[in-house]
Amino acid sequence: MDNHNQLGQAGEKAAHDFLLSRGWIIRERNWRMGKLELDLVVEDPQNRVLHIVEVKTRSSIEHHDPMTAITLKKQRNLINAANGYVSYYKLQMAVVFDVVIVEGDMSTGFKIHYIPNAFYPRVRTFR
């Protein structure tokens, strides 16, 4: 396996563990709907909120903001996949979109940057 793939998997595991430590329930890891994928689908049982969590792992964020990877196209894909997930499981709960940026590497450890409500679905209006 390539080094960047190993780093990505380790970062996703670090994000997973971070969210578990908050008392949240991990419903899915790498849930797929066709070509679309949700990194983590997490439930906050206290507030009955479904968190769709995109994980970005970088060895360093000193010279590059990982949030630039969350383009409008990526947001649309996440929203479409989340709609598919909610429909498939017939869920009746609020859905929010979070980002976890994992910085570091497997030898030195990771620093977690959690961004709640990182973006909101675009509202379409009809004229």
**CATH number of domain containing 110:** 3.40.1350.10
Tell me the pLDDT tens digit for each residue of 77-117. 999 999 999 999 999 999 999 999 998 887 888 999 999 99
Does residue 19 sit within a domain?
yes
For residue 61, the model assigns a pLDDT of 67
Q: What distance in Å separates the CA atoms of residue 9 and residue 121, rounded to the nearest whole number?
A: 27
Q: How many domains does the chain have?
A: 1
pLDDT at 82 (0 to 100): 96
What pLDDT shows up at residue 105? 82
Q: Does residue 52 lie within any of the structural domains?
A: yes
Task: Classify burial at 78, counting beta carbons within 10 Å of its beta carbon; exposed 0-12, middle 13-18, buried 19 or more.
Answer: buried
Q: Is residue 105 part of a domain?
A: yes
Residue 40 lies in a domain: yes
Range of the domain at 75: 3-119
Question: What distances in angstroms separate CA 1 from CA 4, 7, 12, 37, one per listed residue?
Answer: 8, 10, 16, 20
69: in domain: yes
Does 78 reside within a domain? Answer: yes
Say if 127 falls within a structural domain: no
Does a structural domain hold residue 125? no
**pLDDT tier at 8, thresholds 50, 70, 90:** confident
Residues 15-70: tens digit of each pLDDT:
999 999 999 999 999 999 999 999 999 999 999 999 999 999 887 766 567 677 78
Please give the model's pTM, rounded to 2 decimal places: 0.88
Region 114-127: what's the mean pLDDT? 81
Single-letter amino acid, residue 76: R
